Structure 1
Amino acid sequence: MPFNNRKLSINHREGTPQLSKANRRFTMSDPSVNETNSKIHRQFRNAHEGHKSHAGLDPTRASTGVVWCTERAYEHGFDVEPELGANLGQGAPEVDDDIEGSFERPSNIHISMTGREYGPAAGIKSLRAAVANMYNAHHREGKESQYTWENVCIVPGGRAGLIRIAAVLNNAYLGFFIPDYTAYNEMLSLFKNIARGTSVILTSNPRNPTGRVVKNPQLAEIQDICRDRATLVMDEFYGGYNYTSDCSGTTVSAADNIDDVYADDVLLIDGLTKRFRLPGWRIAWIVGPKEFIKAIGSCGSYLDGGANVPFQETAIPMLEPEKVRKEMVALQSHFRDKRDYVVGRLREMGFNINTIPDSTFYLWLDLEGLPDELSDGLNFFQACLEEKVIIVPGIFFDLNPSKRRDLFDSPCHHFVRFSYGPKIGTLKLGLDGIQRVVDNFKLGAHLEQAVEYI
C-alpha cells in the first residue's frame, strides 16, 4: 500500500509508525528517534489512544495533566515517603500560617443552624455582598457603576464555576489561547460551536502556566475590542500574585475597566483557593452582569448543588477590603522572594531564563538548550521523577479539545511548568533533584566522549 498523501501517527504500544484513522488529522512527519525510544512517550501515547474524545469512557486515562503526572509519580513510589520528594507540579500555594504579615486562617469552623440547611445554589447573600464590596473597594472606587450582591455567584471551586459558565454559554463559538490552564481542555468540549464567529473568549489572567500578566492599558484595549462583540471570561485566580507594582498589594482584575457592571459582557472568576491559600475550602465566585449571574446560579441546582454553607459564612470576615490589601502585600513579598530564589538556582544550573515571571507562582521553563534526551517536557519529567521531583510537561497546557493536532506537534512540547507554590524547604529539595538530573546527563556525556576516544 503506498503511503503517498497519507498521514502518520504512532503505534500506541510499540511506538512505531502506523496509518492514522481516516478522520484523524495527525502529523505528516515521522516520529523522532527520541520519541520512539522513550518509554514515557510511548506510555503517554497509550494513555491517549487515538486521541479519543470520550475520555470518561476510559478509566485508565487521567483528565488533567497534573493528575496524570501524579499517577506516574505514585508508580515510582512517590507516595511511600512523600517527605523525601518535592511536588513542584500541583498548582497549590503553601497553606501554613507562617508567612510574615499574613492573617491567621481559621482552625475550626462554627456551624450555625443555617449552616445545617441546604444553601442557595448561587451562594448565601451575605458572602455575595462581601465579594461585591471587595471588588468595589479595590477596582471600582469613584466609578458610578458599582457591584451589588446580585452581580456575584458563589460556586464550589473554580472548576465548578467554569462548568456552570459552560452550561450557560454552551451554544457559542468559543476562542481560547495557548498555553493555558489544563482543566480547560475537557471543559471546552462542552461548547457546541454551532455558529461562525467567536462570541465567547476564555483566558486566565494572570496567565497559567506562563507566569505573565496582561495589565492596563493593554487589558483595557482587549476589553474594548470585546465590548458588544463577545463575552469575555477572565479566570483571575492568580490576580493577587502580582509583582509588577513592587508588592504594594495591588491586584489585577478586568473589573477596573468595566463601564457598566450590569451591561458589560465580562465574567470574572476567582476565589479563596489561590490568593487566600485555602484550596481545600472549595469556595470561589463568579462576578458579572445580573442576567448572567441568575442563570449561572440556577444551573448550579442541577450541576453541583452549591458551595458549603459553613465555609461561606466563615469566609465573610476575610474579605474586608483593607484586610485583603494587607494580605496581598504579605503574599506578594513572600512569593516574589521564592520566585527569585528559584530563578537564581535554575540559571546557575545553566537554564536559559530570558523572561522572569511577573505574576502567579509558576515558571514556564524552556528546555530546548538541554541535551536531546532532556529537551522535551515528557523526558525531562521522567528524569525528574527518578530524583523524586514532580513537574508538569508543557504539552498538557496545549489546549486541543477537538483533537485536531498530533500530541507532539505542539509549541509547548519543549517546556515544563515549574511551581514555586510550595514552601521554601520543598523548593530547595526539588531544585537539588533537578541539579542531580543535569549533573547526571553531563556525566553521561563525558563518559560517552571518553569511550569514543578509547
Structure 2
Amino acid sequence: MAAKAPQTPKTPNRKYSSSVTSRPRRFSKAGEPTEDNELSSKIHRQFRDAHRGHRAHAGLDPSRASTGVVWCTERAYEHGFLDEPDKWANLGQGAPEVDDDIEGSFQRPQTIDISINSREYGPTAGIKSLRAAVANLYNAHHRQGKESKYTYENVCIVPGGRAGLIRIAAVLGNSYLGFFIPDYTAYNEMLSLFKNFAAIPSPLSEEDGYHIHPTKISEEIARGTTVILTSNPRNPTGHVVANPELAEIQDICRDRATLVMDEFYGGYNYTSDCDGTVVSAAENVHDVNEDDVLIIDGLTKRFRLPGWRIAWIVGPKEFIKAIGSCGSYLDGGANVPFQEAAVSMLEPDKVLKEMKALQAHFMEKRDYVIGRLRKMGFHLPEENVPQSTFYLWLDLSSLPTGLNDGLNFFQKCLEEKVIVVPGIFFDLNPSKRRDLFDSPCHHFVRFSYGPKMEVLEMGLDGIERVVKKARRDSDLRRSYHSVLYDRE
C-alpha cells in the first residue's frame, strides 16, 4: 500500500488581515492574575485589540479609525454617556468652556451674516482680509520694533489645527522628523500616515518635568533631524518653553531645521501674572521669510470656538504658498462665512483684553483642581503644576495597586460618570515599536480643566469616590493578609 502523503494541518479562520503579524501576548506580570495584571484587566485587553485592529474589510485599516480622545469617548458611550451627557463630567476632551460668562471676555457672535461672495468657493489659503488680520495681530503682539513684519502672504487659513498639520506634512520633503514624548495624541496618526519623512521619537524626562532643553534640540539636529514638531505650550503636561530658552532653540534651528510650533494654547499663559501675554515663537523670528518657523494657532482654544474650525499657519511666504495650494486636494479650505466673521475678533487691543480674562479665569480653575487632588493624596509637586494650557498630567503612582495605571483608572472613572484620557495615548508610537507596558506614560492620565466649574466639581467628586473605594478595598486586603499571617 502506498504511503499516505502527509496531511497539511487545517488553518483556522484568520481573525485579522494577513498584514498583521501575530505574536504571543505580553502581560504586565507573569504568573497568576492579579489586580494590576492584563489577564484580569478588561480595559487593557480592549485597548490592545483596538490598537492592533479588528476584522478588516478590503482596504480598511481599523487601527487608524480613532485617536485617543475618540476611543475614550466610545468607551464612555458603552457606559451611557451618549444617552445622558449632562450627568457626566467629560474631563477628557480638549475643549474649553464656550459660554460668554467669563468676566472681561468679549461676546461671541450669535448670528453670522452670509454675504453673496461667501457662497462661492473660497481661496484654499483663506480670504485675504482674515489673513491680513492674523498678520496684523502677530506684528502688534510679537513684532514691535522689528524690521521684518508678517503680511497676508505669510498666513494660510485652514479648517482646524489637524488640517493645518496635515497640510504641513504634505509639503515636507524627505526628512527625519523629530518629535517629543509625551505630546498631542493626533500627531501619532499624522506621523504614521505620511511616508515622505521618518518620525523619530525623543522621550523627555519625567524627573526634569518633561522640559525641552536647547541641548536636546542640538542633539536631534546633530543626528540628522531636519524637521522638529512640538506643541508649545505643551499638551498634555501644561509646561511651556519661554524666552530666553525658546529664542536659543530657534537660534539652533536657524538654517538647519524647520521648526513646526503648535501654539494653540499660547493664550493660556500663567507665567506673567495674567497680563495677557501670549507665548509665541513669532517673537524670536529674525526674518519672516527666511526663518523656517511654522506656527499653528486658531480660534479653537484661546478664542474658545472649537466648533468654528478656523485656524491658521504663519510662516515664510514660500512655505505658505505651498501649504495654501495643497488645500485644493486635501480639505478644500475653511468655511468662508466663519472666516469673514472672525476678522473683527482679531483686533490686537481686543485680543489682549480677552487674553487677560482668559488667563485669570483658567488659572483660578487650575488652582481649584490642584487643591482638590492634593487633598485626595495625589502626588502633585510644584514643578509639575501646569504653567499653561488647561491640562493636568496627573501622576497615578501614589494610588493603590489596580488603580495606579492610566487604563484601569480610566475604567474606574467611567463607572462614576467621569471621563479622563489614559496617558498611553500621549506616548506617540507611530511605528508601534513599544508595548504599552513599556510606556513611561502608562501611570498617567490627562485631566482637562477646560469645562465649566460645576463640571469640574462633579468630576472631582467622582474621582474622590473612586480613590476612597480603592483605598478602602486595599486596607481590607491588607487587614485580611495580616490576619492570615498572624494565624500562621
Residue 242 of structure 1 corresponds to 269
Larger Rg: 2
Q: Does the CA-based 8 Å contact 2:158-2:313 persist in structure 1?
A: yes
Distance 2:246 2:328 in 1: 34
Q: Deviations over 1:165-222 (max 9, x none)?
A: 0000152210000100000001012143369721100000000000000000110111
Residue 386 of structure 2 corresponds to 357
Residue 149 and residue 403 in structure 1: after superposition, are their counterparts in 2 closer, same or farther (change >3 A)?
same
Task: Tell which deviates more after alignment, 73-82 or 344-353.
Answer: 73-82
Residue 376 and residue 288 in structure 1: after superposition, are their counterparts in 2 closer, same or farther (change >3 A)?
same
Residue 412 of structure 1 corresponds to 441
Residue 197 of structure 2 corresponds to 193
Q: Does the CA-based 8 Å contact 1:112-1:310 persist in structure 2?
A: yes
Residue 385 and residue 61 in structure 1: after superposition, are their counterparts in 2 closer, same or farther (change >3 A)?
farther
Instruction: Check if 1:305 corresponds to 2:332.
Output: yes
Aligned partner of residue 435 in structure 1, secondary structure = helix
Residue 8 of structure 1 corresponds to none
Distance 1:182 1:298 in 2: 27
Displacement of 1:81 in angstroms is 1.4
Displacement of 1:447 in angstroms is 2.8
Q: Does the CA-based 8 Å contact 2:27-2:39 persist in structure 1?
A: no
Percent sequence identity is 77
Q: Does the CA-based 8 Å contact 1:25-1:406 persist in structure 2?
A: no
Instruction: Check if 1:331 corresponds to 2:358.
Output: yes
Aligned partner of residue 173 in structure 1, secondary structure = strand
Residue 26 and residue 288 in structure 1: after superposition, are their counterparts in 2 closer, same or farther (change >3 A)?
farther
Distance 2:135 2:388 in 1: 24
Instruction: Check if 1:292 corresponds to 2:295.
Output: no
Residue 112 of structure 1 corresponds to 115
Distance 1:56 1:321 in 2: 48
Instruction: Check if 1:348 corresponds to 2:348.
Output: no
Displacement of 1:83 in angstroms is 1.2
> Which runs of no fewer than 5 residues in structure 1 stay unpaired?
1-12, 14-19
> Which runs of no fewer than 5 residues in structure 2 stay unpaired?
1-14, 200-222
The partner residue of 1:374 within 400, 403, 406 is: 403
Q: Deviations over 1:398-427 (max 9, x none)?
A: 001111111221010000000000000000
What amino acid is the match of 2:320? I
Displacement of 1:82 in angstroms is 1.4
Aligned partner of residue 136 in structure 2, secondary structure = helix
Aligned partner of residue 372 in structure 1, secondary structure = coil
Instruction: Check if 1:182 corresponds to 2:185.
Output: yes
Distance 1:318 1:113 in 2: 21
Task: Tell which deviates more after alignment, 166-175 or 411-420.
Answer: 166-175
Residue 407 and residue 343 in structure 1: after superposition, are their counterparts in 2 closer, same or farther (change >3 A)?
same
Q: Deviations over 1:300-356 (max 9, x none)?
A: 001000000000000001000000000000000000000000000000000010121
Residue 194 and residue 376 in structure 1: after superposition, are their counterparts in 2 closer, same or farther (change >3 A)?
closer
The partner residue of 2:303 within 271, 276, 282 is: 276
Task: Tell which deviates more after alignment, 406-415 or 279-288.
Answer: 406-415
Instruction: Check if 1:223 corresponds to 2:250.
Output: yes
Displacement of 1:36 in angstroms is 2.2
Q: Deviations over 1:275-308 (max 9, x none)?
A: 0000000000000000000000000001000000
Residue 205 of structure 2 corresponds to none
Residue 6 of structure 2 corresponds to none
Residue 423 of structure 1 corresponds to 452
Instruction: Check if 1:162 corresponds to 2:165.
Output: yes
Displacement of 1:451 in angstroms is 3.8
Q: Does the CA-based 8 Å contact 1:170-1:191 persist in structure 2?
A: no
Residue 290 of structure 2 corresponds to 263
Q: Does the CA-based 8 Å contact 1:226-1:232 persist in structure 2?
A: yes
Q: How many equivalent residue pairs?
A: 435
Residue 141 of structure 2 corresponds to 138
Residue 106 and residue 248 in structure 1: after superposition, are their counterparts in 2 closer, same or farther (change >3 A)?
same
Residue 461 of structure 2 corresponds to 432
Aligned partner of residue 378 in structure 2, secondary structure = coil
Task: Tell which deviates more after alignment, 27-36 or 256-265.
Answer: 27-36
